[in-house]
Amino acid sequence: MSRNWLAPPGIARRIQLNLLWFLVPAAIGVLAAWVASPLGFSGLAVGVASAMWAWIIFRFVPMRVKSESSAVFPGTPEQLFELASDIKVSLRVSGNPNRTRLVSQTGQPGQLGSRYVTEASGRVLTTTVVGSDPPRKLVTTTITDGSGMGSIDMERTFRPVEGGTLFEVRARQQMSLGAWLLRPLFKREFEAHRAQLDARMRDYLAVGAATTSGVGD
């Protein structure tokens, strides 16, 4: 499926994804009904039951995904730690491509137990700092819409090296089976956003915040 099929982040994309959530189980139900009828079973009953079970499986069966990445950025561990821990700085430097809105924030950025809530594309995300060793390590957990079904644990480490700071990220993400199956739809977009963010981070760290634009504090 082409990347161009997706609408930009926002209400239109949520409608597209909700349609997929409905149409795929419905298609499975229709197929099950078509197979069941010649075998003497009630096509309607089998179809409805199959569609319901498909929806439940896609929605509630958890999948776990691990990923690791690392790169050397100009600047100090202190600068990278601030970028990773302060949501206001992060949104400003990233240019806020997903139109993320900061809903609330408690505690000092990067402080153990501090928390911030953001809203993006109709989803509410709550991020909590569960481990902090400034400026060497930051560990956070993010839960989507108050449900552990959509969550991500991230461990970021910052180590001074020749040419700047080695920034390493280890992520463990939990998502529903349906969301996991939809991941290929977002691969190109994710890679493009990541490349853009890396470029803006390097610009910010090498030249200064005055060269970036985005959301305000």
Question: Is 3.30.70.3340 the CATH number for 62-211?
Answer: no
Mean pLDDT of residues grouped by 10 in the chain (217 residues)?
59 77 89 90 91 90 92 94 94 81 95 94 90 97 75 96 95 89 81 88 75 43
pLDDT at position 216 is 41
Residue ranges of domains in the chain:
7-60, 62-211
Q: What is the DSSP string of 119-136?
A: EETTEEEEEEEEEEETTT
Q: Which amino acid is at 13?
A: R
pLDDT tens per residue, range 113-143: 999 999 987 789 999 999 999 999 999 999 9
pLDDT at position 131 is 98
Closest of 112, 167, 173 to residue 142, by C-alpha: 173
pLDDT at position 4 is 57
Distance CA 186, CA 3 (A): 7
pLDDT at position 120 is 82
Whether 36 contacts 46, CB under 8 Å: yes
Tokens 């481990």 map to which residue? 131
pLDDT at position 209 is 42
Structure token digits, residue 120 = 């993006």
pLDDT at position 2 is 42
Whether 180 contacts 57, CB under 8 Å: no
Closest of 145, 142, 139 to residue 85, by C-alpha: 139
Report the 10 Å Cβ neighbour count for 208. Answer: 9
Pairing of strands 137-144, 123-133: antiparallel
